[in-house]
Amino acid sequence: MGRRKSYDRELVVQQAMELFWQHGFQGTSSRMLSAEIGINPFSLSSEFGSKQGLFEAALAQYLENVTDIFARLSSPDACLQDIRALFGTYASFARTPAGKRGCFLTNVAIESCPPDISQPAVDSYLAIISSGFDNCLRLAKAQGALRQDVVVLDEARFFVATVLGFFVLMRSNTQPALLKGAINAANRHLDSLLRA
């Protein structure tokens, strides 16, 4: 009869995600993971295979979180107010201790991580965000809320780049006024797309 696990896999992945988020892949050692999470190295190896396997699990968990956050923009009744609400959420998040870390996957995209595992996660992340903005803007255009000359795909990509920029500003611990100004500018840009 096998030994019972003395740990909760989901909790281990969550705690590992926090460590990778704070220190990056390279800055998080297997020893640190074991010590901070309180699970022995054998159990970590047995459950995830390696630090890279645990990193993959953390990326997958974060992608689920992102999907939940963007669910509203991806819904069939999404509206432009949902984009504004999302931007407001980022402004609130930036004022929290967690906000100082920025976004886990944005950090992964700009840090030195194994590309074979980081790139597919980053691609999925960008696809989730892009799809949400694209859906919301397409619905608004179909309802006549946007100008006819608005190129929805280009604008969705613009808002993806804008959101990534928000997270880089958060991670850099910039002055709150800089992020607030960027969010205000993003909202003004959204206003500029509206039909007169």
- 90 part of a folded domain: yes
> DSSP states of 97-114 as a string?
TGGGG--HHHHHHHS---
DSSP single-letter state for residue 1: -
Mark out the alpha helices in the chain (DSSP H runs).
Answer: 9-23, 30-37, 41-48, 51-69, 80-94, 104-110, 115-142, 152-171, 176-192
Q: Do 134 and 153 form a contact (C-beta atoms < 8 A)? A: yes
Contacts of 148 (CB under 8 A, 6+ apart): 195
Measured distance CA(89)–CA(83) in Å, rounded: 10
- Is residue 123 domain-shared with residue 170, that is, in the same domain? yes
- Is residue 46 domain-shared with residue 79, that is, in the same domain? no
- Is residue 54 domain-shared with residue 75, that is, in the same domain? no
Measured distance CA(39)–CA(83) in Å, rounded: 41
Amino acid in position 149? D
- Is residue 180 domain-shared with residue 98, that is, in the same domain? yes
Tens of pLDDT, residues 147-168? 999 999 999 999 999 999 999 9
- 2 part of a folded domain: no
Q: Name which of 137, 139, 131, 142 is nearest 152 in CA terms.
A: 137
- Is residue 109 domain-shared with residue 173, that is, in the same domain? yes
What's the length of the chain? 196
pLDDT the model gives residue 128:
94
Distance in angstroms between the alpha carbons of the first and the last residue of the chain: 71
pTM of the shown model: 0.87
- 63 part of a folded domain: no
- Is residue 185 domain-shared with residue 91, that is, in the same domain? yes
Q: Do 85 and 70 form a contact (C-beta atoms < 8 A)? A: no
- 1 part of a folded domain: no
- 89 part of a folded domain: yes
- Indicate which CATH number applies to the domain containing 13: 1.10.10.60
- Is residue 125 domain-shared with residue 166, that is, in the same domain? yes
Task: Please report, in tens digits, the pLDDT of each residue of the chain (196 residues total).
Answer: 445 566 788 999 999 999 999 999 999 998 899 888 888 888 888 888 888 999 999 999 999 999 998 999 999 999 999 999 999 999 888 888 888 888 999 999 888 777 788 889 999 999 999 999 999 999 999 999 999 999 999 999 999 999 999 999 998 877 888 999 999 999 999 999 999 8
